[in-house]
Chain A
């Protein structure tokens, strides 16, 4: 047990890889065996990780705020280590990854009929990559997982995707790759700078962070933009978002779920984990904040507006992701505890809600083989269970109180408001538009007469299909009704990051509450938009 406890991250991380090997020996014709096996592996990995939930609170922090740290030399000649560890932020994202991973695999039971073995193999590989990204505390290791993840996703889109899959897959691949190699250059720059300062080569995040404050602003700027392009493509932030609709529309349902639910979070996670703590002066520079916030607000409103015009359900949800992720980046660059923790919560929310929305689109696509909104209508008459679940998910995505979306968006708005009320005002426009496009979507597809004969014969959800949605809905209610444990988990890491970026934030806060405008809000706020 002790071994298990100390190596729990590695075990959770490589469990899918271990599950991959038996999978390869199951004959390809035996599709049900393949499906059972893949589902069991994913479920087992999730159950293993549930132990983390029980242990996490009690576990003492080992390095900085990181728990369950594992550290071994890996490539000593360049200073790369096998170094894992999680704090509250990565903990939540890992749980999200595991839940969505399992549900997306479960949802593919009937949707995928061809090349089943390869399909599950790719998902297992993808899972390892995603978990690795959230667990790595070594920049080199992080980069390896970050890139490794690309390949299975490329195959998932390219092999099991829709009619324009080749274009979408290659676009996704090249965009992300271009961003990540620039990020690699940024990583190397920091790496050599650290070597110049200390004479030691290391990719250790914690070591690098200790020197972060001494790096000159110009260096920080360069590295910030290198990182920013890598992460912004992944998020995707406004001018870099064009790969997203293509990839989402063409990907199979489970691929979309993972793409929206987890892959996009890596961009925002990158900002929180690397950009902010490693480049505190650059990240809090008023100009940088201005650019990032402006881009976020553009993404919020632009994404929402484009969603309004979509005729394809999946494309609509894809653009809504651009809008929702805009909230996340806005929260991050509010650079205060509310903004950051709201951003992380909103990332989880987006994973839950948008993941569920994609599942819902997938369910209808599997029945009707179309995603055209005009083709549907009045489905609540023939598929009541489906319509109910869709309603809850939709409301959670809109941000109705009692559901998760509200908590995240509200906290982000609060964070943004503390810095500059105009930011919050613009973001609220996005919320209103969000309600508009989702409610309209719901109305057009679910309500009204069900006059299309093709729709009249549709079957309602079976137990397995409902089971893919119910856990997400339960989680949505949990966050919506009792978000405290989530905020509690986030409190320490978020405060630590804010402390790094905005030194002495707490004292300023006290002053600003006393009626004197805080220096931060004056500097950043005065030139808000």
Chain B
């Protein structure tokens, strides 16, 4: 075993910065008077920005760290940016929210940072145990965040449900990891890949390990049928937390699926492909169909998030089917996740604002006539929904286009057809909110107070990003391709 060097620490710089900042915020919390809690938010934001800077600086030192359990590669770097972005947007969206809901405690920011730290570790990990540790760090923080509105029953329900089912799923993952270790004698993804691709090396029970690990990760990205918790948790958790939940742990888990199933266990071809194919199909269809009946915006967006996971899985199936040319599919997944992060976080933090104190107004009908009281807010939500439904000139469109392109290139015509038709169905429920805002007469019950500036800044940033990705995706496509290339 190589001795630990300074370089090892540089290669986990974002995680170190985030974790230190989280501890700082946590310890400072009891010392800061309640009136100044917002200061902790800004400290956290600085921490996130610093972590981003660290991530940028780290690029010059890419390579494996800590005996190959962590890799500082473009792939990790891409995801770390994405996670930091999600965290920053969530943070901006939650400052005023926590005040209106009278749960403004500094721990929120600490937990947010820790959740991000865990997710960052997950995406950088190239070792199954490390992945598990990252997953746990991120999960435990988000469990608490889900129940952050302690006085609210739904929030409690969300917390408990997320915790129980989440622990159950991590147990599955751990069981899968144990199986893999038992079969191959290693938990390092690189070694795993070498061992499995050696001629004649096909442990007989590998499929059990694969399925177990897939179940565990499938829970995190809420693929059907492991999605049952999603609507309840997304609806019950405080809306900014939902924004974070629907993006950061999910993106991280997708990164892990990419690393494990397309990297380490790549040689277990057909089974992995069919796992991805079937769950893509189910996830898209069920997510979209169930969303059709929702009138609660949070719940609707929850099902939409499930459906989006389905599209991402289409990209993964494409990557798997493309064999040695998996890069295109992986890049499409990465691009999709970036677009998804922008749209989804922004949509949820905006809903958090609209729902008002105590999140009383979550129904689509509560937004009736909002467009004429708050044209800016309504237009903003409309643009986000339009992007989520995948209309051209927005990030959502190009992301979908890029995934479908990869899928057709990999000859997954049937799956692409289903995906394309699904995206038509999806328009129907996204428009439900638009219909309420623009086309029904009445006064909105939803909070028509002006947007607080941090939320406004977050939304402006997201919208600029959405249109930038939609109209000039080239730099990002290049970035995604760069990040996708080093995966074996």
Classify A-B as touching or not with yes or no (CB < 8 A): yes
Contact with B along A144-165 (1 / 0, CB 8 A): 1111101100110011000001
Size class of the contact patch on chain A: 35 or more
Does A158 lie within 8 Å of B439, measured CB to CB? yes
Taking the complex as formed, is B311 at the interface, i.e. its CB lies under 8 A from any CB of chain A? no
In whole angstroms, how far apart are the Cα atoms of A281 and B431 in the complex?
A: 40
In whole angstroms, how far apart are the Cα atoms of A173 and B426 in the complex?
A: 12
State the Cβ distance, B434 to closest chain A Cβ, in Å: 8
Of A52-60, A70-78, A518-526, the segment with at least 4 beta carbons within 8 Å of chain B is A70-78
Chain B residues whose C-beta falls within 8 Å of the C-beta of A170 in the assembled complex: 428, 431, 435
Chain A residues whose C-beta falls within 8 Å of the C-beta of B427 in the assembled complex: 173-174, 177
Contact A185 to B420, CB < 8 A, known contacts A76-B474, A77-B477, A159-B438: yes
In whole angstroms, how far apart are the Cα atoms of A516 and B417 in the complex?
A: 47
In whole angstroms, how far apart are the Cα atoms of A151 and B431 in the complex?
A: 10
Of the candidates B402, B408, B409, the one whose C-beta lies within 8 Å of that of A185 is: B408
State the Cβ distance, A328 to closest chain B Cβ, in Å: 26
In whole angstroms, how far apart are the Cα atoms of A260 and B439 in the complex?
A: 23
Chain B residues whose C-beta falls within 8 Å of the C-beta of A159 in the assembled complex: 438-439
Chain B residues whose C-beta falls within 8 Å of the C-beta of A177 in the assembled complex: 424, 427
Contact with B along A181-210 (1 / 0, CB 8 A): 110110011011000000000000000000
In whole angstroms, how far apart are the Cα atoms of A118 and B434 in the complex?
A: 14
State the Cβ distance, B477 to closest chain A Cβ, in Å: 4
Does A188 lie within 8 Å of B405, measured CB to CB? yes
> Which residues B351-392 have CB closer than 8 A to chain A?
371-372, 375, 386, 391-392
Identify which of A144, A147, A159, A181 gathers the most chain B CB atoms within 10 Å of its CB.
Answer: A181
Does A143 lie within 8 Å of B474, measured CB to CB? no
Chain A residues whose C-beta falls within 8 Å of the C-beta of B375 in the assembled complex: 118
> Which residues B452-488 have CB closer than 8 A to chain A?
472-474, 477-478, 481
State the Cβ distance, B485 to closest chain A Cβ, in Å: 14
Does B438 lie within 8 Å of A158, measured CB to CB? yes
Taking the complex as formed, is B404 at the interface, i.e. its CB lies under 8 A from any CB of chain A? yes
Does A144 lie within 8 Å of B393, measured CB to CB? yes
Taking the complex as formed, is B103 at the interface, i.e. its CB lies under 8 A from any CB of chain A? no
Does A78 lie within 8 Å of B431, measured CB to CB? no
In whole angstroms, how far apart are the Cα atoms of A170 and B393 in the complex?
A: 21
Does B409 lie within 8 Å of A148, measured CB to CB? no
Chain B residues whose C-beta falls within 8 Å of the C-beta of A105 in the assembled complex: none
Chain A residues whose C-beta falls within 8 Å of the C-beta of B473 in the assembled complex: 75, 77
State the Cβ distance, A214 to closest chain B Cβ, in Å: 20
State the Cβ distance, A196 to closest chain B Cβ, in Å: 10
> Whose C-beta in chain B lies nearest to the C-beta of A155?
B438
Chain A residues whose C-beta falls within 8 Å of the C-beta of B386 in the assembled complex: 151
Chain B residues whose C-beta falls within 8 Å of the C-beta of A150 in the assembled complex: 391
In whole angstroms, how far apart are the Cα atoms of A148 and B391 in the complex?
A: 7
Taking the complex as formed, is B421 at the interface, i.e. its CB lies under 8 A from any CB of chain A? yes
State the Cβ distance, A197 to closest chain B Cβ, in Å: 15
Taking the complex as formed, is B423 at the interface, i.e. its CB lies under 8 A from any CB of chain A? yes
Contact A77 to B439, CB < 8 A, known contacts A170-B428, A174-B424, A177-B427: no
Does A181 lie within 8 Å of B423, measured CB to CB? yes
> Whose C-beta in chain A lies nearest to the C-beta of B477?
A77
Taking the complex as formed, is B397 at the interface, i.e. its CB lies under 8 A from any CB of chain A? yes
Taking the complex as formed, is A335 at the interface, i.e. its CB lies under 8 A from any CB of chain B? no
> Whose C-beta in chain B lies nearest to the C-beta of A161?
B439
> Whose C-beta in chain A lies nearest to the C-beta of B331?
A77
Taking the complex as formed, is A368 at the interface, i.e. its CB lies under 8 A from any CB of chain B? no
Residues of A within 8 A of B (CB): 74-78, 115, 118, 143-148, 150-151, 154-155, 158-159, 165-166, 169-170, 173-174, 177-178, 181-182, 184-185, 188-189, 191-192
Could you list 29 A-B pairs, sorted by A, with CB under 8 Å? A75-B477, A77-B473, A77-B477, A77-B481, A78-B402, A78-B477, A144-B393, A146-B392, A147-B397, A148-B391, A154-B431, A155-B438, A158-B435, A158-B438, A158-B439, A165-B439, A166-B435, A170-B431, A170-B435, A174-B427, A181-B420, A181-B421, A184-B401, A185-B417, A185-B420, A188-B404, A191-B405, A192-B408, A192-B409
Q: Which 4 A-B pairs have the closest CB atoms?
A: A144-B392, A77-B477, A181-B420, A147-B392
